[in-house]
A and B are shown apart, each in its own frame.
Chain A
Amino acid sequence: MELKAAGITDVGLKRESNEDYFSIDNALGLYIVADGMGGHLAGEVASKVAVEVINKNVNRWIAQQVPDDELFDYPDSTLSKRANYILSGIKLANRVIYELSKVYSEYKGMGTTIVALSIMPSVAIAANVGDSRLYLIRANTIEPLSKEHNMVTEQLEMGLISEEEAEVSPLRHILTRNLGSSDTVDVDVFEIEPRNNDRFLLCTDGLTDLVSDQEIFEIVQNGEDPEHLCRQLIVKANGMGGNDNVTASLVFVHNLEQENQGIVKKFWSRSK
C-alpha cells in the first residue's frame, strides 16, 4: 500500500491569525487536523498542542506495541488496537489542554476540535471531536466518516428540529464537545476497510461552512495531485468569502493489495 498526502492551511480573508493546525505522517499513515479556539494566541496553542501530543504518543505506543491497559484512560473493547491508540492519544491531548488552560491564565478557555485518520492495509480509523470533518471519497460517492458535535446536529438527531431548520440555525457554531473544556471527552471513532483508490479529506469548518459536499466532491475528483486539489479547495472557500481559517488535507490510497480473494480467483491469477 502506498499513501500519498498533502495538506494546506490558510488564514482566510477575515481573520488575523490562523488557529488551524494539521500534520501528515505517511510512514505511520496518521493524519490529523485541528481547529483551535480561544482568545489571543490560545487557539493556536490548543490546536498545535493537540496535534503534537497525539502524534508523539501514538508513535511511541505503536513502536513499543504498548498493550491496551497501559494506555491513557480506559480502552474501548469494540475497537481495534490501533484505534485504541488513536482514541487514547486524543483523550490525553484533551487532558493536557484542559490542565494548561487551568494553570495559565492566558490559556483560560482555550480548546480545539480534532479529526484524525489512521490508515493501515487492513483498516482505516476515523476519530473526531467537534465540527472538523473527515470525508471518504470512493467510487463516485462522498460520505462523512466523522460526527459533528454541535447543538444543531444533536437537535436534528433527536428529531427536535428539521433539516431545513438546521441549515439556517444560528447554533451551528455552538459546539457540544471539544478538547480542553472538560477533564474527559467522548470521542467518535469509526473503522472501515480501506480500498484501493480511496480518497480521504480532513478539513475544518472554514471549508464546510462555505463549500457544499457536492462541490467538495467535484474538486477532489478532479485531478491526481493532492496538493493541487487542496489548493483548489482553499481557493474555493476564500472565493465564497473566506470567513474563517480553512484547512484541507487529502490522503490517497494507492497500490493496496486486495488479499481477500476467493480460492478460485487466487488460482486463476496464478495460472495466468
Chain B
Amino acid sequence: MARVILVFNKQVIKDYPFIKENMTIGRTDENDIVIDNLAVSGYHARIDRAGDTYILTDLQSTNGTFVNDKKIVSYRLRHKDKITIGKHLLFFALSKSEQAKAREGELDETMVLDTARQKELLAKQAGRKGIDLTGAKQKLGVVSFIDGSDQGEIELSKKLTKIGKAETSEIRLGGLFMATTAATISRRPNGYAITPTGGTKVKVNNQVIRESQILNDFDTIEIGSYKFQFYTQGSGDEK
C-alpha cells in the first residue's frame, strides 16, 4: 500500500496510508490530509490512483505544489518523491511489492484513467482557473450570407458541408459558373477548414485559395458571386 508522510520542521506529523482511490490535501477539514496553514489553499492538491499509478494534481492553488522542488500541474508520483506545499513536506512511499511492480512498469505502460474520476479532476482544475468546460468543446460554425441573397445564416452542423450546385449540397448555390461542388467546409481536429474543390474560384479574405485553409472567426468567403462570413457560435459576445 502506498503512503504519504507529512513532515514539518523535520518532524513527522502523520503517516497517511493510501486506502481510498484518491486523497485530497488542503487547509479545510474536508480534506483527507489537512494542513492548517495560511500558505495552503482550502483544496490545494489531490492524489489519484489509476491502477498501480499515482497522479498528483495541483488544484490551481494560490501558492502552487512542488515535487522535488519543481512546480507541477500534474505529476506521476514515484517512490520517495518529495512534495512541497507551503512549508510542509509530504513524502510519497510505495510498499516493496509496489516498488517492484513500478520497476516493471517503467517502460511507460499505457493505462486508462477511470472516466468519471478524470472528468471530476479536470473539472476541478478548470473550476479553479475559472474556465467553463462547456466552452472547451468545439463550437458550432455558422456561415452568414452578406451578398444580399436570401440564404441568411446556415449552421455547419454536418462534419462535412458541401457547397455548390449539386442537389445534395448542404449549401446550394446557383449560377452558370457554379461547380457541382465548389468547396467543402469540414470540421477537423484543428477547427473548421475550407477546401476549394475546383471549377469555381474561392476566396478567403479577398485571397484566392487553392488548398485547404483553417477558418477563423469573421473570415469572409467568396464563391463565385456569393459572399458570406464565417463565425463560431458564441464568438463576439463574450469577454
Interfacial residues of chain A within 65-99, with CB under 8 A of chain B in the complex = 78-80, 83
Contact partner, B186, options A139, A147, A192, Cβ 8 Å: A192
Contact partner, B189, options A144, A165, A243, A260, Cβ 8 Å: A144
Known: A192-B186, A193-B181, A193-B195. A181 touches B115 (CB 8 A): yes
Contact partner, B108, options A123, A173, A261, A262, Cβ 8 Å: A173
Q: Does A218 contact B (CB under 8 A)?
A: no
Give A188 to B187 CA distance when docked, in angstroms. 11
What is the CB-to-nearest-CB distance from B137 to chain A, in angstroms, rounded to a whole number? 9
B113 CB contacts on chain A under 8 angstroms:
151, 174-176
Q: Is the CB of A176 within 8 A of B131?
A: no
Stretch at the interface among B4-12, B21-29, B32-40, B196-204: B196-204
Give A265 to B176 CA distance when docked, in angstroms. 12
Interfacial residues of chain B within 143-198, with CB under 8 A of chain A in the complex = 157-160, 162, 164, 176-182, 184, 186-190, 193, 195, 197-198
Q: Does A177 contact B (CB under 8 A)?
A: yes
Q: Is the CB of A190 within 8 A of B118?
A: no
B125 CB contacts on chain A under 8 angstroms:
155, 158, 160
Q: Is the CB of B107 within 8 A of A15?
A: yes
Q: Is the CB of B180 within 8 A of A138?
A: no
Contact partner, B159, options A138, A158, A159, A189, Cβ 8 Å: A189
Q: How many A residues touch B, CB cutoff 8 Å?
A: 58
Give A155 to B57 CA distance when docked, in angstroms. 11
Q: How many B residues touch A, CB cutoff 8 Å?
A: 52
Give A179 to B51 CA distance when docked, in angstroms. 17
Q: Is the CB of B211 within 8 A of A141?
A: yes
Contact partner, B197, options A138, A145, A188, A260, Cβ 8 Å: A260
Q: Does B19 contact A (CB under 8 A)?
A: no
Give me the 8 closest cross-chain CB pairs, A-B, nearest first. A262-B199, A191-B160, A170-B76, A191-B159, A260-B181, A262-B179, A260-B197, A261-B199
B111 CB contacts on chain A under 8 angstroms:
37, 173-175
Q: Is the CB of B178 within 8 A of A262?
A: yes
Q: Does B110 contact A (CB under 8 A)?
A: yes
Known: A138-B211, A243-B108, A260-B180. A174 touches B50 (CB 8 A): yes
Q: Is the CB of B76 within 8 A of A261?
A: no
